[in-house]
């Protein structure tokens, strides 16, 4: 009898523990939460052919942001604390898959807002659905100019700014044109006049190359463009073609992402094409992840690369703390798109608090437009939107709902195995860390 009573007590205790999360009010340390959890959808490439390394870092950042927000008592609306949960969907880097996952997040998971997106093609493909379903969205990595330009352009035949005049898409990553202008200005300032662009065949690579080519040509340089497919491993035939030119190019600019860019950069260095005395190597922002870079591009010393996001020497306390957490999890420096993804979740949570609602899309969008918050990448705000709809003459359309201040710099390694945190910032001049705009191979700053 006694044994049976003990058994029943044990069962009852276990049942109470199991049912505890279903209670009307949950207790989590010092915070009390409402029984509704705000669901934010995250979209990131978590499997091939997408950029999985990027997607995994973004997924980590979403969840880290949710953890940090929840640890700070979640989103406070009308005096009630709501926990946040980020549900990440795997876009696989494919527009079709991205649409299917977005549909699932909207219809089945009933997300209150969306963040993320790595590949521009996925961003462009899902924008129409997000608009049609009135989901406030903060994109953290797609670069295609048309992502944020949608606010004042027609997309898929839909009228601009649906019904009540709001546009739900925001972007805190830079537009390709913003990155391209910095790279081109830097190279033209070095006097280059013969440029080879090696470009991935994607919605990121092609428009970015077209923009940079136009800028180079406007600056008097000649441009040769070579298209490659993502996933290609062997670039030696096409690099041999560059090597066979009568004159070596002044610069080879790589507009290719992921491990494909690592293979390309390494083979270029192995063949002695660039970096060399004749040719500057400009690889992509992935090079900032120095552990990955040196593991796969051991001959890549003296390559320059574009860096999006705040430079290491200007890291705020929040950025340092976030970087430490990332290094603990992954053993490498935090990439800018992980910082942006982390910040995107915070921007949404902050807007919901100010809007006083997690479900009123119009109020949340208006709150995001009025954002003024310091996060890991700096101060976020949106200059143009429904709150300030007139874009002055000459302002590009992509500035609509676009964070205007993503810092774009050019960095360069000058020692093998160097940490990305120690690489030299060489452009723009205002951020230069070593007083030079280029470190020639074989020299030190």
Q: Which of 193, 299, 353, 360 touches other proteins by CB under 8 A?
A: 299
Q: Which of 41, 42, 55, 207 touches other proteins by CB under 8 A?
A: 55
Residue 58 near residue 41, CB atoms below 8 Å = no
> How many Cα neighbours within 13 Å face the side chain of 287?
37
Does 118 contact other proteins by CB under 8 A? no
Q: What tokens does 401 get?
A: 């709902």
Does 39 contact other proteins by CB under 8 A? no
CA gap 102, 88 in Å, rounded: 10
Per-residue interface string for the shown chain with other proteins, residues 195-224, x marking contact by CB under 8 A: ---x--x----------------------x
CA gap 217, 423 in Å, rounded: 30
Stretch that binds other proteins, among 21-29, 277-285, 290-298, 344-352 (CB under 8 A): 290-298
∠ CA(350), CA(355), CA(361), 5° rounding? Answer: 100
**Residue 286 Cα distances to 20, 63, 338, angstroms:** 44, 22, 12
Query: What are the helix (H) ranges across 224-300?
Result: 236-243, 258-270, 290-296
Number of residues that bind other proteins (CB under 8 A): 46
Does 295 contact other proteins by CB under 8 A? yes
Shortest Cβ 93–other proteins spacing (Å): 11
Q: What tokens does 294 get?
A: 């040196």
- Residue bearing tokens 């950069």: 265
Does 441 contact other proteins by CB under 8 A? no
Shortest Cβ 53–other proteins spacing (Å): 5
Complex with other proteins: residue 330 or 342, whichever CB lies closer = 330
Residue 102 near residue 126, CB atoms below 8 Å = yes
Q: Show contacts with other proteins in window 228-267 (CB under 8 A).
A: 228-229, 231-238, 240-241, 243-246, 259, 262-263, 266-267
Q: Which of 38, 43, 53, 195 touches other proteins by CB under 8 A?
A: 53
**Residue 250 Cα distances to 140, 180, 217, 365, 437, angstroms:** 33, 17, 14, 46, 15
Stretch that binds other proteins, among 35-43, 145-153, 292-300, 358-366 (CB under 8 A): 292-300
Binding site for other proteins (CB under 8 A): 47-49, 52-53, 55-56, 198, 201, 224-229, 231-238, 240-241, 243-246, 259, 262-263, 266-267, 270-272, 289, 291-292, 295-296, 298-299, 330, 332
């Amino acid at each position: 009898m006694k044994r049976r009573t003990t058994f029943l007590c044990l069962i009852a205790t276990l049942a109470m523990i199991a049912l505890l999360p279903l209670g009307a009010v949950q207790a989590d340390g010092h915070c009390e939460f409402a029984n509704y959890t705000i669901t934010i959808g995250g979209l990131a490439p978590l499997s091939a052919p997408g950029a999985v390394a990027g997607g995994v870092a973004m997924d980590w950042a979403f969840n880290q942001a949710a953890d940090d927000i929840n640890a700070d008592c979640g989103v406070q609306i009308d005096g009630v604390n709501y926990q946040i949960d980020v549900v990440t969907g795997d876009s696989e880097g494919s527009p079709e898959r991205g649409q299917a996952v977005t549909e699932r997040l909207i219809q089945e998971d009933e997300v209150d807002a969306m963040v993320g997106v790595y590949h521009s093609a996925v961003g462009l493909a899902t924008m129409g659905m997000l608009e049609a379903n009135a989901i406030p969205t903060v994109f953290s990595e797609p670069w295609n100019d048309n992502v944020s330009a949608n606010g004042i352009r027609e997309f898929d035949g839909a009228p601009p700014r649906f019904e009540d005049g709001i546009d739900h898409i925001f972007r805190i990553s830079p537009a390709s044109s913003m990155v391209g202008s910095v790279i081109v200005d830097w190279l033209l300032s070095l006097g280059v006049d013969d440029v080879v662009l090696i470009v991935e065949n994607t919605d990121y690579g092609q428009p970015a190359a077209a923009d940079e080519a136009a800028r180079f040509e406007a600056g008097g340089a000649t441009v040769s463009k070579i298209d490659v497919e993502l996933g290609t491993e062997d670039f030696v035939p096409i690099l041999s073609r560059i090597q066979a030119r009568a004159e070596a190019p002044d610069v080879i600019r790589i507009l290719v992402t992921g491990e494909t860019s690592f293979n390309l950069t390494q083979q270029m260095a192995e063949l002695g094409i660039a970096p060399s005395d004749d040719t500057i190597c400009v690889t992509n922002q992935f090079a900032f992840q120095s552990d990955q870079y040196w593991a796969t591009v051991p001959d890549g010393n003296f390559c320059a690369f574009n860096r999006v996001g705040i430079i290491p020497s200007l890291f705020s306390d929040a950025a340092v703390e976030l970087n430490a957490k990332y290094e603990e999890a992954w053993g490498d420096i935090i990439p800018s798109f992980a910082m942006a993804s982390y910040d995107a979740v915070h921007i949404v949570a902050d807007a919901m608090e100010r809007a006083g609602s997690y479900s009123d899309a119009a109020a949340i969008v208006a709150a995001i437009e009025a954002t003024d918050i310091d996060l890991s990448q700096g101060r976020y705000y949106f200059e143009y939107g429904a709150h300030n709809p007139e874009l002055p003459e000459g302002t590009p359309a992509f500035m609509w709902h676009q964070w205007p201040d993503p810092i774009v710099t050019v960095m360069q390694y000058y020692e093998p195995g160097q940490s990305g945190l120690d690489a030299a910032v060489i452009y723009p001049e205002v951020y230069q860390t070593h007083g030079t705009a280029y470190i020639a191979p074989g020299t030190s700053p």
